Amino acid sequence: MSDIRDATPYDTVFRPDHKSMTLAVDIKEMYKFYEEEGELESVPAIFKWEDGSLIPQVLLPGVYEVCNVCQGKGTVVDPRMDRNGLGEEQLNDPDFMDGYWSGRFDIPCRECKGRRVVMRVDVSNDPTGSLKVYLDHIHKELNERAEEAAESARIQRMESGGY
């Protein structure tokens, strides 16, 4: 069973820049798509230098929100302590339970890294239009995948004698 405390941090995809209140997203595939379509001027991309090449990125507006993993506490109980539930022995040990509830077994939250807040994409604020372009691309990509899956399913039905 998955534990929210072990979740991949949001900022592995959306890298926050706290000074400019933006989140950077690599858009290599999106950039290629718009380049092939001849619509590159509609992509508000910036570039970063990484491992000897330029990586296109889009900057999305950011806003701080209370961390949903630790609920703004900055720490969580170490998942190794209670991932499989607490045993009867632990539940009946007053010293253990006192430590459990007082934070003795807490570790910094992996999501907010103890800051109690995380930066998220601010969908209500898009002064450059970068969020709209990014979401439009994601929408197009998801529609293409759905059409490909439907076509694949149709071909599979036909090959198996269905229609």
What is the helix (H) or strand (E) element at residue 141, kind and residue range? helix 130-159
Task: Break the chain into its structural domains and give their ranges.
Answer: 4-64+118-159
Identify the sign of the CA torsion 87, 92, 93, 94. positive
CA atoms within 13 A on the CB side of 30: 25
Q: What is the pLDDT of residue 40?
A: 60
CB 55 within 8 A of CB 26: yes
- Write the pLDDT tens digit of every residue in 1-56: 344 444 444 545 677 777 888 877 777 766 676 677 776 666 666 677 778 877 77
pLDDT band at 67 (very low <50, low <70, confident <90, very high): very high
Q: Select the more confidently predicted residue: 74 or 52.
A: 74
d(CA 124, CA 26): 21
132 has a pLDDT exceeding 90: no
